[in-house]
Structures are given as structure tokens and as C-alpha cells.
Amino acid sequence: MKSELLVIILLIAFLALSGCTDKEIVQDTDSNASAEDIKYIEIYIDDYAFHPQSLTISRGDTVRWTNNDSVAYIVKSSAFQSPTLTKGMTFTYTFNERRTYNYYLATHPYTKSGMIVVE
């Protein structure tokens, strides 16, 4: 019982301290375009779910996830993982390989997952 309580306290402390920035987090943009030139395809996290839940995009497109919930999340797939996103924070990923990407909220794996198909 004591070890379970300690794990819960440590998890709460980690989530509380990990969101101490309002900066946008950008990952894996292999193009020469500046951040201002990139057109993002938006996915919002609301009520423990992705909106939209599935997308079909083109190779080279950049997707931006925005956390609109007061709960902290980590977006994860086999190809990428965001840092902990607190309310208002974003994470971007550029999809350069044609395939299907399934992703989920690693901090809440019981929620619905998302899917991106890159053509």
C-alpha cells in the first residue's frame, strides 16, 4: 500500500513539474522550411480523446497536437513520442514515410487511440 501511494505521489509531482513551459515543442522537421512557413494539420486533445481521431495526409505534412485539457498527456506511437503536454502546449511531427501510424495517450492508455494514414 505504501509503495502504491509513493508511486502515485511521484507521478503527480512529475506531471506537475513537467509542464513548466509554454513553448511549442517541435520534433522531426527534416525540411528546409522555417517554422513560419510550415502549414500544420491540427489535432486537438479534448476530454481524453483526439479530434479528429483519424486523418489521411500526404508525405511531408506536419501534424500539430494541441492539449486543450487540464490533464497532462504524452502522445506516443512506434515512430514518435511527445514530451509531457500540459494545457495549451503543442507537439509537432513531420510524416516523411508512407504508412499508417497508430498513436495513443501514453499517460492514459485506456482512452481511444488515433490513426494517421500517410499517402
The pLDDT of residue 11 is above 80? no
CB distance 51 to 65 below 8 Å: no
pLDDT of residue 109: 80
What ranges do the domains of the chain cover? 2-118
Going by C-beta distance under 8 Å and a sequence separation of 6 or more, which residues neighbour residue 46? 68, 69
- 33-49 pLDDT tens trace: 555 677 899 999 999 99
CATH level 3 topology of 2-118: Immunoglobulin-like (2.60.40)
pLDDT of residue 28: 46
- Exposed/middle/buried for residue 79 (C-beta within 10 Å: 0-12, 13-18, 19+): middle
Q: Which pLDDT band, with edges at 50, 70 and 90, does 23 fall under? A: very low
